[in-house]
Structure 1
Amino acid sequence: MTSLLERRRAKAGPRPTRRVSPENALGWFILAVLFVLVGAPLVLVLAQGVAPGLGLARDWTVRPGLLGEIARRPLWQTSLVNSLTLATGAMLLGGALGTGLALLRHTVAFPGARLLDVAAWALLVSPSFVLAQGWVLFASPSGVAVGTLGVDPSSLVFSPTGLVVITSLIKYPFAYLATSAALHWDDGSYRQAAALAGARPWTVLRTVRIPLLTPAVASGAILVFVDVLGDFGLPAALSAAYSYPTLPYSIYASVRQSPVSFELGGVLSFYLVAIIGAAILLYIRILRGSRYDFLTGAATRVPPPPARYPWLWSGLTALVLAITFGVPLGTSLQVSFSRTLHGGPVPDNLTLEHYADIFSAGSRMSEGIVNSLTIALAAATVTTVLAFLIGVVLTFTGFRARFLIDVAGTVTLAIPGIVLAVGYIFLWNQPFLAGVGLGLYGRAELLVLAGTATALPIAVRLQLGALAQVPASLLNAAALSGARFPTRLRTVLAPLIAPALVSAFAAVLASGIFDLAATTMLAPPSFTTLPVEILAEYDRGRYGYATAGAVVSAVLVMVLAAVSSVIGRRLLGGPTHGSGA
């Protein structure tokens, strides 16, 4: 019997071995990386809400009723109520402000209109904790407002209503940019029909134009809500002047306090992620509830007509810029050149000593700038490459689990940085990892991983558009010529989307330098980082030194962004040739 089977096998020949294609191998590799970067940390931190101490303490127990204790614990309840109050108020006020300014910008033309775009982008890329510090330095009882203007706005600013207003002034660019994007193209037939029916301009705006902009308005408002709800920088900067616990700051305190409160961090992280997820699902339902595809072949990009009262709208623009942009950043700039906070901008109070201290030998601020720049460069490089590979899998392969990659690469947008940072502590502080040499907690390499996970969705989205414009036939032709899969990516695809790669790199680099949540939670004790050092000096009362560090870093980021923009423009233009070519 055995010999018969052997003869049949010999006759049939060797069994073919299944080889995994390079495309599928890349897909599985990407899934594994995303699980380590996002999946495992998120699962561990959320698990603390029902099993506090899981994986980190020997006496951990399953307590499914722990999530309901938020109704009986004052700190938990206060943090939840404060976060919802702040986020909802900013969503309504900031959404209305951003939408109104966008409508003004694209409805009439007046001198200084483009400054609204500049201010929105400047506020968007500015770290929230630096802006919040500017407002605190301006409105504190011994701050710039008292010393320079003789006015004490502290009772107005340091209140729940005041915080909602300040947060709205910082976060309104999300609503402004979302609405502006929808106003670039216009089909005036609907408004003309309403006008012919006797509707006045205000009625047309209220009943025709704004309803057609519902997706953009809802998108901007929910983006404000989500960003405020998960923001750690704003409450961290306000904590020195006003006690207003929020979910992100209480999660931070749960890990920083001794002993560590696993249940506090887990429960509050669960509610924070659940609320943000519900907000995003609500937004999707709003979009799918009705049709808003009103543009037709008659849609054009028509420049807005001149305003009847241009001085009025120019004055309004100047007022908005002075309040939203000038107060926080102008205050920080003034304080960085001042000997004392309350001395005002008089010659005797002006000094360059804070900047001299930054560039002096042994300066911790200079050390923090170098360290943060090094971490940001490493994270930007890893993120750009990984986002490129994710885009390749999503665009050019038939990998069956592409949906999981897309979800995993997007879900980080709904995970606040503070939650992800706490998850990294729980994951990389596991005892068995330390036993095999992978205990990364307390090492600078963990900052690179956290920066990569946080910035990955942005880098992916910045590259997907460029990848979608490349026909697959180019890669197929290279394959027929004998080029292997890595060679095709390196020599064909990467050069074609080089501008998008540069844009993604610059965006991640600029945001990574000021990543307060990750550096506060994960930086080694002896590893000085820029955001932590600015916040520490600010808490010590060295306001001039702290703001000078923020100014120097902001200038550095703008220079790097400008250089990246020039490089990207040259890559987009392609090589130049002489007249004799």
Structure 2
Amino acid sequence: MSTPGTTRNPGPVVWGAAAALIVLVAIPLLFIVLQAIFPAIGQGSLASPFDGVLDVLTDPKLVGMAGNTLVLGLGVVVCSAVIAVPLAFLRALFQVPLARLWDVLLLIPFMIPPYIATLGWIMTVQPNGYLKQVTGLDAGSYLFSIGGVIFVMTLGVFPVVYFAVSRTVEAIGGRYADVGRVFGASPFTALRRVTLPLSLPGLAASLLLVFAMAIEEYGTPAALGRQAGFEVLVTGIDTRVSDWPIDLRGAAVLSLVLVMMSLGAFMIQLRILANRSFETVGGKPQAVRKRPLGIFAIPVVAAFAIVTLLAVGVPLFAIFATALSKTLSGGLSPDNLGFDHFRAIVADENGAFRALVNSLSLGIATAVITGVIGAATSYMVVRTRFRGKGFLDALTVMPNAIPGVVVAVGIILAWNQPWLPVTPYNTPLILLMAYCCILLPYPVRYANAAFRQVGDNLEAAARVFGASPLVAFRRILFPLVLPSLLASMLLVFAVATRELVASLLLAPVGMSTISTFIWRQFDQGSVGLGMAMSAVTILITTTIPLLVTLASGRRGPM
């Protein structure tokens, strides 16, 4: 007997969502595996399986790239923990002055695309850069090194750890550590033996995410690492699919190695958290009492200010200073400042305005499509019962464990086959498919949580009065989950408009997006125009979601 509000028949909407998941996620991943196993699949042949795979895996260059990727990921994890964990504990347990201001400021790195922040650091630290102009210091040799890559990437991702750990520790409070103090433990021992172990779930999850973000990031290793001879898997994959002779088999094998690294990190997290209890919240609410900092207030504020200056102040200053500078050689003098580069964007110089329109259009389309698929898929997972829904649910979360460059390679392999009568390859549709695949998990997870909050009785009542599953979904359930879905769609829009690696690999000939335009302007020496586009990108991806959120709040719940 079916549970009220559930059905064994998924209906046409859900079947459509299932078909979209197979096309967007399953097929590209399948072709990565097939290409790695069958080197001649592009010619329609399954001959010589595994031919040469061992040679690729034992290639010293691949081993070196894999090692560098691990060094990069682990280095960013360690540095993020060193910066974020102390700040998070201070924020959660003590009365930090201007605490809410620091929280808001530390959200800004999420709004700055990593490759744009990296370009900002290059403008700051390069010879005769802003650091040299303002302080006389020259740190360019440090930036273009392994340490420089790890440093810049850490400043972009450590807030993930900061917010996860601070919220976890705040929920725990200081009462368990106080019990340890009563039994003779020193403050450091109570922190190490009680509070830190209890915060392990939030810490492990955030560090896993940081590791995944670090090993799949393309812009920073490409801009900084290559000049230091620091090649990682992501840049190696890009080289194999972009430079002649194209090596699709090598790209597929490197992609699988990268996926295995992500999955391996996930398995380590599960192993750490297995068979341990982290229960800290019971039925009786506990007051959260934060301790005063006393004489340590000034050093703590200084620590927050320095980290915020490095993570937020330096990139934003470099971006807007370069965008407003008429010439780089003119420096920061007032007579060298103006809006010439912004006027060039409006005038469509070098295709700037077209790139802006292309990215905004793709961002809106991606948000709408992933929102519809996410709502339908979540309805399928939560509200229906049929064989195979677990597999489709796994497809929705799989892009979380798959770097964007792997998705791009899979799409190239899947849709660039010579035997296909019709293909979206080398059209704007291929970019849209890549964006949807990469960003689909956001709407699915948001909608999934929202559907679980809606009782079964509403849909059951509609069915009693003759409504079909489609009508019940469209008239009752969808409006109820729309606020959560809208929030995820705004996030998808912000990320899609500035996505870099898939855009570089898949953009059709003659078509530019915001990210490819910025990247190529730096390659061509038009740094001011590229930074002006970066400034416009940050303003758009911050302002539009904010305005939509405010407008939705004024209208109230739907």
User: 1:37 maps to which residue?
Assistant: 24
Residues 105 and 116 in structure 1, CA contact (< 8 A), matched pair in contact too: no
Looking at structure 1, the residues matched to 60 and 209 of structure 2 have their Cα atoms a distance apart, in angstroms, of 28
Helix, strand or coil at the partner of 1:171: helix
Looking at structure 2, the residues matched to 299 and 345 of structure 1 have their Cα atoms a distance apart, in angstroms, of 55
The structural deviation recorded for 1:119 is 3.1
Residues 95 and 224 in structure 1, CA contact (< 8 A), matched pair in contact too: no
The structural deviation recorded for 1:233 is 2.3
Tell which deviates more after alignment, 474-483 or 195-204.
195-204
Looking at structure 2, the residues matched to 415 and 461 of structure 1 have their Cα atoms a distance apart, in angstroms, of 16
Please give the per-residue CA displacement for 1:434-459, whole angstroms capped at 9, x wherever unaligned. Answer: x2x3x110010111111111111111
Looking at structure 2, the residues matched to 21 and 398 of structure 1 have their Cα atoms a distance apart, in angstroms, of 5
Q: 1:107 to 1:67 in 2, by over 3 A?
A: farther
Helix, strand or coil at the partner of 2:244: coil
2:334 to 321, 342, 347: 347
Q: Is 1:356 paired with 2:366? A: no
The structural deviation recorded for 1:375 is 0.7
Helix, strand or coil at the partner of 1:142: coil
Instruction: Name the amino acid aligned to 1:421.
Output: A
Residues 187 and 295 in structure 1, CA contact (< 8 A), matched pair in contact too: no
Instruction: Name the amino acid aligned to 1:106.
Output: A
Looking at structure 2, the residues matched to 169 and 392 of structure 1 have their Cα atoms a distance apart, in angstroms, of 38
Q: 1:42 to 1:500 in 2, by over 3 A?
A: same
Please give the per-residue CA displacement for 1:375-412, whole angstroms capped at 9, x wherever unaligned. Answer: 11111100000000011011111123221122111111
User: 1:4 maps to which residue?
Assistant: none
Instruction: Name the amino acid aligned to 2:89.
Output: L
The structural deviation recorded for 1:306 is 3.0
Please give the per-residue CA displacement for 1:97-133, whole angstroms capped at 9, x wherever unaligned. Answer: 2222211111212322223322332212321111111
Looking at structure 1, the residues matched to 348 and 526 of structure 2 have their Cα atoms a distance apart, in angstroms, of 18
Instruction: Name the amino acid aligned to 1:111.
Output: P
User: 2:557 maps to which residue?
Assistant: 574
User: 2:452 maps to which residue?
Assistant: 468
Residues 123 and 170 in structure 1, CA contact (< 8 A), matched pair in contact too: yes
Looking at structure 1, the residues matched to 320 and 253 of structure 2 have their Cα atoms a distance apart, in angstroms, of 40
Looking at structure 2, the residues matched to 70 and 181 of structure 1 have their Cα atoms a distance apart, in angstroms, of 42
The structural deviation recorded for 1:242 is 4.1
Instruction: Name the amino acid aligned to 1:358.
Output: I
Q: 1:336 to 1:37 in 2, by over 3 A?
A: same
The structural deviation recorded for 1:469 is 0.9
Looking at structure 1, the residues matched to 240 and 299 of structure 2 have their Cα atoms a distance apart, in angstroms, of 50
Greater C-alpha radius of gyration: 1
Q: 1:167 to 1:187 in 2, by over 3 A?
A: closer
> C-alpha root-mean-square deviation of aligned residues, in Å?
2.1
Alignment TM-score, normalising by the size of structure 2: 0.94
Q: 1:302 to 1:59 in 2, by over 3 A?
A: closer
User: 1:8 maps to which residue?
Assistant: none
Q: What percentage of aligned pairs have identical amino acids?
A: 29
Instruction: Name the amino acid aligned to 2:523.
Output: D
Looking at structure 1, the residues matched to 350 and 222 of structure 2 have their Cα atoms a distance apart, in angstroms, of 23
Looking at structure 2, the residues matched to 400 and 180 of structure 1 have their Cα atoms a distance apart, in angstroms, of 41
Residues 156 and 162 in structure 1, CA contact (< 8 A), matched pair in contact too: yes
Please give the per-residue CA displacement for 1:157-199, whole angstroms capped at 9, x wherever unaligned. Answer: 2221222222212211221122123134235442221111122
List alignment gaps of at least 5 residues for structure 1.
1-19, 576-581
Helix, strand or coil at the partner of 2:467: coil
Aligned length: 551
Instruction: Name the amino acid aligned to 1:261.
Output: D
The structural deviation recorded for 1:67 is 4.0
1:123 to 103, 109, 115: 109
Q: Is 1:313 paired with 2:296? A: no
Please give the per-residue CA displacement for 1:507-538, whole angstroms capped at 9, x wherever unaligned. Answer: 11111001112211111111121100000001
Residues 262 and 401 in structure 2, CA contact (< 8 A), matched pair in contact too: yes
The structural deviation recorded for 1:332 is 1.4
Helix, strand or coil at the partner of 1:351: coil
Residues 172 and 280 in structure 2, CA contact (< 8 A), matched pair in contact too: no
User: 1:551 maps to which residue?
Assistant: 535
Q: Is 1:202 paired with 2:202? A: no
Map 1:48-87 onto structure 2 (within 5 A).
Answer: 48-56=35-43, 61-64=48-51, 66-67=53-54, 69-71=56-58, 73-87=59-73
User: 1:9 maps to which residue?
Assistant: none
Q: Is 1:503 paired with 2:503? A: no
User: 1:454 maps to which residue?
Assistant: 438
Please give the per-residue CA displacement for 1:257-302, whole angstroms capped at 9, x wherever unaligned. Answer: 1121122201211110011111111112222231111322345362
Helix, strand or coil at the partner of 1:55: helix
Tell which deviates more after alignment, 309-318 or 367-376.
309-318
List alignment gaps of at least 5 residues for structure 2.
1-6
Q: 1:53 to 1:565 in 2, by over 3 A?
A: farther
Map 1:220-369 onto structure 2 (within 5 A).
Answer: 220-238=206-224, 241-300=227-286, 302=288, 304-308=290-294, 309-341=296-328, 343-369=330-356
User: 2:4 maps to which residue?
Assistant: none
Instruction: Name the amino acid aligned to 1:457.
Output: P
Helix, strand or coil at the partner of 1:508: helix
Instruction: Name the amino acid aligned to 2:304.
Output: T
Q: 1:84 to 1:68 in 2, by over 3 A?
A: farther
Tell which deviates more after alignment, 160-169 or 179-188.
179-188
Alignment TM-score, normalising by the size of structure 1: 0.90
Residues 114 and 220 in structure 2, CA contact (< 8 A), matched pair in contact too: yes
The structural deviation recorded for 1:363 is 4.9
Q: 1:369 to 1:53 in 2, by over 3 A?
A: farther
